[in-house]
Amino acid sequence: MLALALGFVPACGGGAKAGGISEVDARQKIDKLVELFRGVDPTTTSDIQDKNFRERSKLLEDLHGVGRAAGLAALARLEQAKDEPLDVQWALLEAAAFNAPEDAQPLLEKLIVTYDGKEGTGLRMHAVRIMSAAIPQRAIELIEPMLRTPLARETRPPQEELVRGWHTAAKKLGITEARVLCDLVVDMRQPPDARYAAVNALSDMGGTRAIQALREVLVESASDGNIRRKAAQALLVIMPRKDFCALMNEAAGHESDEIFLAFLDDMLQRNCGGQ
């Protein structure tokens, strides 16, 4: 029934190829994926566990982009996988998204935005990661409004996972303007972990707006010392060294917290000796 609902009509003999592997091959590979992601007995030796990890990682990677038949086979198997380990469920979800993105998109969106107290956030966190990599444009559209309205983490995927998802999708699309992350990183209503994730993303993306936002975090005495340190370290990466050293000197000149002042002095000594 799921196959028909998804518009997947089995071909005669199950051997047709629709721009990818056959339906028979797809089902066989998905069956193997489930087997590998169920894992091995945790009491087995490390070499056996490592071999299982390598094999399952390679198979999942090889299953990226092999055709819609594989995606539909993964979706059908996922519908029957409620009692399978989380690893099996997210592997099937990933195989579906990278092969049949239009078919997998409704489920991905439902997982991300719909609260399910029984199932928890495990698969929903993976849904953010998978959708951001496989369907980046829709991921941006879905995640960005959620980033601007922090809610209790029990009701949706953790805010830091949404930050990482937005960052992944933005890189896939070549987006260099990170206005939403700049707004988030200076918003003290946001969970600390989300702000830390935003600092890391801005450190990777760079740009004038990112520098301005991180400067604001650096000098905001009401913020916790950890995020201020992370902001300084990110600025070291994305600012010209001369400008960075001038900023550190300026910040040190106005800093009243002795512990953070010691950190700034250390940053200056390590990175601005000749400046």
pLDDT at position 222: 80
- Measured between alpha carbons, how far is 51 from 32 in angstroms, rounded to an integer? 15
- Measured between alpha carbons, how far is 226 from 258 in angstroms, rounded to an integer? 14
Contact 77, 34 (CB under 8 A): yes
Q: Coil, strand or helix: which one is 250?
A: helix
User: Per the structure block, which two tokens stand in for 182?
Assistant: 């700049």
* Cβ contacts of 186 within 8 Å, gap of 6 or more: 213, 216, 217, 220
pLDDT, tens digit only, all 275 positions of the chain: 334 334 444 444 344 344 689 999 999 999 999 999 999 999 999 999 999 999 999 999 999 999 999 999 999 999 999 999 999 999 999 999 999 999 999 999 999 998 765 666 789 999 999 999 999 999 999 999 999 987 665 678 899 999 999 999 999 999 988 999 999 999 998 999 999 999 999 999 999 999 999 999 999 888 789 999 999 999 999 999 999 999 999 999 999 889 999 999 999 999 997 55
pLDDT at position 156: 81
pLDDT at position 52: 97
Sign of torsion, CA 166 172 173 179? positive
Write the DSSP symbol of residue 80. T
Q: Give pTM, 2 decimals.
A: 0.87
- Measured between alpha carbons, how far is 23 from 15 in angstroms, rounded to an integer? 6
pLDDT at position 185: 96
* Cβ contacts of 240 within 8 Å, gap of 6 or more: none
pLDDT at position 11: 40
pLDDT at position 20: 85
Q: What is the residue whose two structure tokens read 């959620």? A: 146
pLDDT at position 5: 39
pLDDT at position 1: 36
* Cβ contacts of 229 within 8 Å, gap of 6 or more: 260, 263
Q: How far is CA 138 from CA 101, 131, 205, in A?
A: 11, 8, 20
183: number of Cβ within 10 Å: 15
Residue ranges covered by each domain of the chain: 178-275
pLDDT at position 12: 40
Sign of torsion, CA 264 266 267 273? positive
pLDDT at position 275: 59
Burial of 144 (0-12, 13-18, 19+ CB in 10 A): middle
Q: How far is CA 131 from CA 67, 164, 173, 179, 182, in A?
A: 17, 12, 13, 21, 22
| Direct distance between the N- and C-terminal alpha carbons of the chain, in angstroms, rounded to an integer | 69
- Measured between alpha carbons, how far is 141 from 146 in angstroms, rounded to an integer? 10
Output phi, psi for 17, to 5 deg: -115, 125
